[in-house]
């Protein structure tokens, strides 16, 4: 699931599940002998919370089967509620030294994990012996968790963004659902037709608050070929023609065409609530945005389809990608690292098992068929196996995602210190969406100065 979406989704389950989760298990591997009785014990976080009954049952079943297959390994599961969806809580746990032996983090978390001094170099252990599908894992994802030639985490989820569009509104507006917009000019033209339907329908909708505005500014900037920071990460690099084009496109749709609706300052749940209610024609998002629309906001899968990220004058030059992985706590024994890798391999990286157990997920009505989590390299053996299983067990119309999947756009990761930068860029996004007289150049200059101050303070 795309990052901000996952944070929100898990937060919804937090209240009911936190009590159970915090009592489930200690997070310390040294509570007892990690090799007692000839068995290797590891603690692993992000066990589903108690309110997620089926997910928790699935997790527990996976642990039981894994331990049956590996009788010398004991997995102690830990559900820590917000750690897995709330960056400040994750940071606090790092600072407090209370992370589990094998702990979850976002792709954007590598630097702060390294800064905390708690990450273990697992380079020598990450191989086919411990992770049978290791050679199929996309090298670009491994690189995200690599620093100075050393690997510190194993990727377990990956996503990229595209154009999500409502087929029902497209048809009502006389648009071809099989020929969605390819450029931002196409998006603007389609948005005008969709918004002309009236009844509060926004042709195109966009975030501008709660860090989500900055998140999407980054995605839109990537589509132009831009980047948020200079390659050395020391300066802001969005106050340029590409950044101006991002904001100008939005300002033109918002106030030139009046095709983005009157309500602005939208955060994650706001936009998806409107989308589920049939009030949004298009927005950018990851494939699992449709899952959230259905599972959390009572929308319908069949109403939605995805296309590649639009470009300014042709194909997009890039799109934002992100994801998750599992780090290993410094100080583990070699046996614990190997045990942790084997668990991650079983639960996260084996077609037909764990998160790829589509036979189990299908009757539980979890969506099967979304082009995600995109962990395996194109043409790899694991990718072929996963794709065959996904198609065989799909419970949604995969044709709605065929164009997105068949037209890959180069993926760029999130910038360093992403959340703080996104908070700054929210102001630029909200500026052009709430003020018809907004000065695009001034908004970018202000954001540039603030990001540079942020980076300087950090260094």
pLDDT digits (tens, 9 = 90+) for 193-202: 999 999 999 9
Q: What is the pLDDT of residue 417?
A: 82
410-434 per-position pLDDT tens digit: 888 888 888 889 999 999 999 999 9
Q: What is the pLDDT of residue 11?
A: 32
Per DSSP (E only), the strands in 39-197 are: 40-45, 73-78, 102-106, 146-147, 150-151, 153-160, 162-166
294-337 per-position pLDDT tens digit: 877 888 989 999 999 999 999 999 999 888 899 999 999 999 99
One digit per residue, the tens of pLDDT, for the chain of length 459 reads: 343 433 333 333 322 222 223 223 333 444 445 666 789 999 999 888 887 788 899 999 999 999 999 999 999 998 876 556 666 678 888 888 889 999 999 887 888 899 899 999 999 999 999 999 999 999 988 988 999 999 999 999 998 999 999 999 999 999 999 999 999 999 999 999 999 999 999 999 999 998 899 999 999 999 999 999 999 989 999 999 999 999 999 999 999 999 999 999 999 889 999 999 999 999 999 998 998 898 778 889 899 999 999 999 999 999 998 888 999 999 999 999 999 999 999 999 999 999 999 999 999 878 899 988 889 998 999 999 999 999 999 998 989 999 998 898 988 888 888 888 999 999 999 999 999 999 999 999 999 999 999 999 977
Largest interatomic CA distance in the chain? 72
Q: What is the pLDDT of residue 419?
A: 80
Q: What is the pLDDT of residue 88?
A: 67
CA distance 350 to 343: 10
340 within 8 A of 215, measured Cβ to Cβ: no
H helices of 256-333, in order, are 268-276, 288-295
CA distance 228 to 145: 20
Place of tokens 């599908």: 133
Q: What is the pLDDT of residue 24?
A: 32
Q: What is the pLDDT of residue 292?
A: 84
Strand, helix or coil for residue 79: coil
112-125 per-position pLDDT tens digit: 899 899 999 999 99
CA distance 117 to 230: 26
Per DSSP (E only), the strands in 329-413 are: 411-412
433 within 8 A of 204, measured Cβ to Cβ: no
Pairing of strands 411-412, 319-328: parallel
Apex 401 CA angle, 300 and 312, nearest 5: 110
CA distance 89 to 27: 14
Q: What is the pLDDT of residue 2?
A: 47
Q: What is the pLDDT of residue 80?
A: 77
């Amino acid at each position: 699931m795309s990052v901000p979406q996952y944070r929100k989704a898990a937060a919804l389950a937090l209240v009911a599940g936190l009590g159970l989760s915090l009592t489930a298990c200690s997070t310390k591997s040294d509570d007892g002998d990690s090799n007692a009785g000839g068995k290797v014990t590891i603690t692993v976080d992000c066990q589903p919370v108690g309110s997620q009954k089926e997910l928790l049952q699935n997790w527990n079943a996976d642990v039981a089967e894994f331990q049956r297959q590996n009788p010398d390994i004991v997995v102690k599961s830990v559900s820590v509620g917000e750690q897995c969806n709330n960056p400040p809580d994750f940071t606090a746990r790092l600072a407090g030294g209370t992370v589990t032996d094998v702990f979850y983090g976002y792709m954007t978390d590598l630097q702060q994990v390294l800064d905390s001094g708690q990450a273990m170099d697992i380079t020598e252990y990450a191989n086919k012996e411990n992770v049978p599908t290791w050679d199929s894992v996309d090298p670009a994802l491994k690189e995200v968790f690599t620093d100075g030639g050393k690997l510190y985490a194993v990727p377990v989820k990956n996503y990229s963004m595209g154009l999500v569009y409502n087929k029902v509104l497209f048809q009502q507006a006389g648009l071809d659902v099989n020929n969605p917009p390819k450029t931002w000019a196409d998006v603007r033209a389609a948005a005008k037709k969709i918004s002309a339907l009236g009844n509060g329908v926004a042709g195109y909708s966009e975030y501008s608050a709660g860090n989500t505005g900055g998140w999407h500014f980054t995605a839109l900037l990537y589509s132009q070929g831009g980047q948020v920071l200079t390659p050395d990460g020391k300066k802001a690099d969005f106050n340029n023609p590409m950044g101006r084009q991002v904001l100008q496109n939005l300002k033109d749709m918002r106030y030139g065409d009046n095709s983005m609706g009157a309500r602005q300052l939208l955060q994650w749940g706001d936009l998806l609530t409107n989308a589920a209610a049939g009030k949004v024609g298009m927005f950018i998002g990851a494939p699992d945005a449709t899952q959230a629309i259905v599972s959390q906001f009572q929308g319908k899968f069949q109403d939605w389809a995805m296309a590649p990220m639009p470009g300014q004058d042709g194909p997009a030059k890039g799109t934002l990608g992100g994801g998750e992985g599992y780090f290993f706590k410094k100080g583990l024994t070699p046996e614990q690292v190997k045990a942790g890798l084997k668990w991650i391999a079983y639960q996260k990286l084996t077609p037909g098992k764990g998160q790829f157990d589509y036979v189990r997920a299908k009757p539980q009505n979890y969506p099967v068929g979304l082009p995600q989590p995109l962990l395996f390299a194109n043409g790899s053996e694991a990718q072929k196996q996963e794709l065959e299983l996904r198609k065989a067990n799909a419970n949604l119309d995969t044709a709605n995602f065929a164009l997105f999947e068949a037209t890959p756009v180069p993926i760029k990761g999130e910038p360093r210190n992403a959340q703080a930068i996104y908070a700054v860029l929210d102001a630029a996004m909200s500026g052009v969406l709430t003020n018809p007289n907004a000065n695009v150049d001034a908004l970018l200059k202000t954001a540039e100065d603030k990001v540079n101050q942020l980076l300087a303070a950090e260094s």
